[in-house]
Structure 1
Amino acid sequence: MSKVTDIVTDLVTPILDELGLELVDIEYKKEGSNWFLRVFIDNETGSIDIDDCGLVSERLSQRLDEVDPIPTAYFLEVSSPGAERPLRKESDFRKAVGRHVHITTKEPIEGESTFEGELISFEDGKLTVKEQKKTQVIALEQIDTARMAIVF
C-alpha cells in the first residue's frame, strides 16, 4: 500500500504548501470491508480546525478524482494528528523539544524498549529523554515508534 501513500503524498503536498500547512502522515488501510485513506495535517501552531480539514479534503478529493490512483472505493478523511501526534521526521523531533514524548525502540536499550518523559534535546540524530528517574539518549535509527504524549 505504500504506492498509494506515495502517490497521495505527491498530490497533497502542493495543496498543503499553498495553504501553509504540513503533512504529518498518510494512512491507507482496510477496516472491515471498507478502505480508508487518512491524511493527517498540521500547521506551525498546531491549531488545525475543521475549516482547514474541509478545504484540504475538497481540493485533494478533486485531485484524486482527476488522477484516479486508487482502483477500489474508499473513504477520504482529513484531520489533525491530535494531541498524541506521531514524530517521524527530524523536524518533528526538533519541534517536540521541551515536550512530553513516548518512544519505543526496535531493540532494548539497557533492558528497556519503552521510554516516556520530556524530550530534553535533539542533536546530531540523537534525542535525550528525561524520565522520572533517569535520562536516556536514543539514536533515531534505534526508534521504532515515537509520538507526543499527554501527561495526566
Structure 2
Amino acid sequence: MAQAKNQALLDLVQPVIDAQGLMLWDLNVKKVAGQKTVELLVDLPKHAKISMNEITEFTQAMNEALDEAEVDPVPGEYMLDIASPGWDRALTERWHYTWAKEEGDPITVALFAAKDGQKKWTGQIDQLDDSKVTLLIDGEKKDFSFDEIAKAVVSVQFD
C-alpha cells in the first residue's frame, strides 16, 4: 500500500494522521481525467465513522503540512482528494480483512478466474490467515487465497 507507493508522502502524512487520532486506510497517487491526484482515505480507529468536520480539519492540516514541506513529496501540480473509505470500502491490505472481520461486515470477493462456476462471492469472514480468507456463505465455508482475489469490498447490506 502506501509504503511502497510513496514513502516521502507517507512520512509527511503519518504525523498529521497521528496528531488527529485518525487512521490511514489508503494512499494513492494517480491520474484522474489527466490530472495528477493524491488520494488519501482516512477514518477513525476502533470502527468509529469519521465526520465531515474531521475530514475538513484533516484536509486543512494536510494542506499546511504540504505547503510547509521542505521537499515536495509529489513533484508537479496535483489535486488533493481526502475522503472516508465509505461503507463499501475496498479491502486492499490484509489488515483491511481483519478490520472487516472485527466489524462483522460481510464482504464480496471478485476472483480473477471462476471458482465452482462463479467469479463473485459474498459472505462473512470466518477465518483469516496470511495466505487466505475463509468466508461463511449460506452456512458453508469457502476458502479464497489472496492470490485469486482480484478485488474485495465490504458488502453493504440493507435490511
Q: TM-score, normalised by structure 1?
A: 0.82
CA distance in 2, matches of 1:120, 1:26: 28
CA-to-aligned-CA distance 1:84-124 (integer Å, 9 cap, x gap): 11223332212212311011233433343321122222245
| Aligned with 2:62 (options 49, 60, 66) | 60
Aligned partners of 2:63 and 2:130: how far apart in 1? 39
Change (3 A) 1:4 1:127: closer
Question: What's the counterpart of residue 96 of structure 1?
Answer: 100
Tell me how far apart the structure 2 counterparts of residues 41 and 23 of structure 1 sit (CA, whole Å): 5
Letter in 1 for 2:84: S
5+ residue gaps, structure 1, are: none
The residue type equivalent to 1:20 in the other structure is G
Aligned to 1:148: 154
Asked if the contact 1:30–1:36 (Cα under 8 Å) also holds between the matched residues in 2, the reply is yes
The residue number in structure 1 matching 2:53 is: 51
How far has the Cα of 1:139 moved from its partner?
2.2
SS at match of 1:88: coil
Judge conservation of contact 2:30–2:38 (CA < 8 Å) in 1.
Answer: yes
Mapped pair 1:131 → 2:137 = yes
Hey, what does 1:116 align to over in structure 2? 122
**How far, CA to CA, are the matches of 2:9 and 2:115 in structure 1?**
36
C-alpha displacement at 1:74, in angstroms? 1.8
Aligned length in residues: 151
DSSP-derived class of the 2:25 partner: strand
Root mean square deviation, CA, Å:
2.4
Q: Tell me what 1:87 maps to.
A: 91
What corresponds to 1:10 in structure 2?
Answer: 11
Work out the CA distance in 2 between the residues paired with 1:127 and 1:87: 12
Which residue is 2:32 aligned to? Answer: 31
Aligned-pair distance for 1:71? Answer: 2.8
Deviation at 1:61, TM superposition (A): 1.8
Shift of 1:31: 2.3
Q: 1:90 to 1:30 in 2, by over 3 A?
A: closer
